[in-house]
Amino acid sequence: MMPKVRLHGQFRKQTLIASLCAFFLIAAAARGQQVDAAFGLSTVSAPSAASASANYSPQSLTGGAYPSFSGDFLIKKQFGVNGEISWRASQAFYQGFYPFRPIFYDFNGIWIPQLGKHFAGELMAGIGAESARFYQPFTICGFNGCTNYVSSNHFLGHFGGGIRAYLFGNFFVRPEAHLYLIRNNFEFSSARATRFGVSIGYTFRPQQY
State the Cα–Cα distance between residues 174 and 160, nearest whole angstrom.
Answer: 12
Task: State residue 8's pLDDT score.
Answer: 42
Domain boundaries, the chain: 10-204
Higher pLDDT, 4 or 179: 179
Q: What is the mean pLDDT of the chain?
A: 86
Q: Name the phi and psi angles at 27, rounded to 5.
A: -65, -40
Mean pLDDT score, 9-34:
54
Report pLDDT for 148: 84
Q: Does residue 17 surpass a pLDDT of 90? A: no
Per-residue pLDDT tens over the stretch 161-199: 999 999 899 999 999 999 999 999 999 999 999 999 999
10-204 carries CATH number 2.40.160.20:
yes
> Which of these ranges, 19-23, 30-34, 170-174, 189-193, has the smallest mean pLDDT?
19-23
Average pLDDT (72-80) is 90
